[in-house]
Structure 1
Amino acid sequence: MINGSTKIVGLIGHPVEHSFSPPMHNAAFEELGLDYAYVPFNVCPENLKSAILGAKSLNIKGFNVTIPHKINVMKYLDKLDPIAKLIGAVNTIDFKEMKGYNTDGIGCIKAIGEVTSIKDKNIVVAGAGGASRAISFYLARENPQSIHILNRDINKAKSLAEDVKNSKLTDNVDFDSIDKIVGYVSDADILIDTTPVGMSPHVNDEAIVKAEDMHSDLVVNDIVYNPNETVLLSEAIKAGATPVYGIKMLLYQGAESFEIWTGEKAPVDVMEKTLRKTLDL
């Protein structure tokens, strides 16, 4: 029950009606007996500054941040986690220090970590947008053998690869056109698809790689979580490759935010069960 001592955390974005975060976090608070509540707030871009200042004044403890605020919100914070600064986007705020974090990339790393490690692996990242950027910097931190960033707009791939190199986290990053993905996947240990291909309602899109171009030792992660089994993951299963579902990244980035706000270990099993129920899986 919400009362005068309940700590409020939430989500800011525009829109926020589609979010699966509130049930996941509120189930976690209930499981641990924490007097917290997670609330989504629809904040128009022109109201972002007043929303952040107002939240601080209202003693709100933390926010998740989604589209379109992940970049613009940074100017209203006092501190940035080093990797969030490199990524240039924030998806989590801790109002204790007015500090911004980016947990998107770590969500992906932990999802893949359920089946394999990143260290010394040859990794192909499809796409060069915001999600790819967050993931690529976190990958670089894990000492992979190589990261190949492939995109339709090759200049975006080049720009991201150069930014990752300039971070000094790794030298082993390059870029190319996504049209050449089959050649890269044949030598890859891990394929991460950060593109929206196959996302609902476009569930019949053509997969970016077909089963015949995959191998059984490949780990395939699609960050799209609706549908749960995307066209790419269907092809991976056909090829005998190991699928990593998008719901796992959603789960682990949320768990990381939970731990930043509460200082408690997130009950990941309860959060996953709630997510699956919310998504009808």
Structure 2
Amino acid sequence: MAERITGHTELIGLMAYPIRHSSSPAMQNEAFAKLGYDYAYLAFEVDNDTLEDAVKGLRALKMRGSNVSMPNKTVVHKYLDELSPAAELCGAVNTIVNDNGHLTGHITDGIGFMASLKDNDIDVIGRKMTICGAGGAATAIEIQAALDGVSEISIFNIHDEFWDRAVSTVEKINTKTNCKAALYDLDDKDKLKEEMDSSYIFVNATGVGMKPLEGMSVVPDKSFFRPELIVVDVPYSPLETKMRSMAKEVGCKTMNGLGMMLFQGSAAFELWTGEPMPIEYMKEILNIKYE
């Protein structure tokens, strides 16, 4: 890194809290170095209270852009000039592109999730998905899955500040896509098990399982899983969550969120540079292996 930092090096950020666990800086900087781009990517601990000032700083410092993660994805749009159609539909942003002071918000999470499934030979098109979560990443996954051709999506969430967002997501899916969506209370574990039993894939797209909720699971016990069910835990730190461990015990094919992180990062990389990320090289660097 030190050898390639110059007076011309442009900065790209990652604004989230907590964020020190993230693999994105290593991934993006390796990709920039591999392709010879004069960018440096750094993580900044930014929450909702400091987000507006951080975006002002991005603009003032003429940074090329930034990724955005929890808890900022669903609020950062207030400080941007424009949203991509997908970001507007999802109501969330995970990538900012700065074009000479004009800040555009994009969402690449859903694209990254679907690409990671395809890369692992998992075909969800025409099948049913049950998913937990209604935040920025979850919404992006739900919208993109519906647009790509998943036939049915059962969404589970607690009655928190994201519940109304989930209601809106279900309405958008049912009116703007050919997918059928429904929303259920995550506290209703009997209904969760019923929907999982009839699904091809189950996805945890909440923060449960990662710090500070490490060691916890949205699924109470392994009786909720069956060997034929594909199980994806979007958190990837730690790599082996409690939920994923339970699913493995039953014999499920499982994934963590590293593949999604790689492919959503690749989409962001292309927005900043105009070139695709060297995927196979990055899989080696990040030691991404499917089980």
TM-score tier by shorter-chain length is 0.7 to 0.9
Say if 1:211 and 1:236, in contact at 8 Å, map to a contact too: yes
Relative distance call for 1:212 and 1:51 in structure 2 (3 A) is closer
Residue 165, structure 1, aligned to residue 170, structure 2 = no
Aligned twin of 1:191: 202
Q: CA deviation at 1:200?
A: 4.5
- 1:152-198 CA-partner distances (Å, limit 9, x unpaired): 339555443224334x0234111223321111111111111123333
Aligned twin of 2:20: 17
How high is the TM-score relative to the length of structure 2? Answer: 0.83
* 5+ residue gaps, structure 2: none
Say if 1:207 and 1:231, in contact at 8 Å, map to a contact too: no
Q: Partners in 2 of 1:80 and 1:223 — Cα distance? A: 24
Q: Partners in 2 of 1:212 and 1:120 — Cα distance? A: 26
Say if 2:143 and 2:169, in contact at 8 Å, map to a contact too: no
The equivalent position to 2:31 in structure 1, one of 14, 28, 33, is 28
Q: CA deviation at 1:71?
A: 3.1
Aligned twin of 2:112: 107
Say if 2:173 and 2:180, in contact at 8 Å, map to a contact too: no
Residue 243, structure 1, aligned to residue 251, structure 2 = no
Say if 1:123 and 1:147, in contact at 8 Å, map to a contact too: yes
Q: CA deviation at 1:222?
A: 0.6
Give the 4+ runs in structure 1 shifted more than 6 A: none
The equivalent position to 2:140 in structure 1, one of 121, 134, 138, is 134
Q: CA deviation at 1:146?
A: 0.5
Relative distance call for 1:68 and 1:213 in structure 2 (3 A) is closer
Q: Aligned runs of 1:266-277 on 2, under 5 Å?
A: 266-276=277-287
Relative distance call for 1:78 and 1:196 in structure 2 (3 A) is closer
Q: Percent identity among equivalent residues?
A: 36
The equivalent position to 1:182 in structure 2, one of 193, 199, 215, is 193
Residue 116, structure 1, aligned to residue 122, structure 2 = yes
Q: CA deviation at 1:199?
A: 2.7
Relative distance call for 1:6 and 1:191 in structure 2 (3 A) is same
Say if 1:181 and 1:209, in contact at 8 Å, map to a contact too: no
SS of 2:269's equivalent in the other structure is helix
Q: Which amino acid aligns with 1:176?
A: Y
Relative distance call for 1:74 and 1:201 in structure 2 (3 A) is closer
Q: CA deviation at 1:268?
A: 2.3
Say if 2:13 and 2:43, in contact at 8 Å, map to a contact too: yes
Say if 2:131 and 2:153, in contact at 8 Å, map to a contact too: yes
Greater Cα offset, 206-215 or 121-130: 206-215
Relative distance call for 1:182 and 1:69 in structure 2 (3 A) is closer
Q: Partners in 1 of 2:278 and 2:117 — Cα distance? A: 19
Q: CA deviation at 1:216?
A: 2.8
Root-mean-square deviation (CA), in Å? 2.6
Relative distance call for 1:12 and 1:126 in structure 2 (3 A) is closer
Q: Which amino acid aligns with 1:95?
A: N
Say if 1:255 and 1:268, in contact at 8 Å, map to a contact too: yes
Relative distance call for 1:243 and 1:142 in structure 2 (3 A) is same
Q: Partners in 1 of 2:84 and 2:203 — Cα distance? A: 24
Say if 1:182 and 1:209, in contact at 8 Å, map to a contact too: no
Aligned twin of 2:86: 83
Q: Partners in 1 of 2:218 and 2:52 — Cα distance? A: 40
Higher relative contact order, chain-length normalized (CA < 8 Å, sep 6+): 1
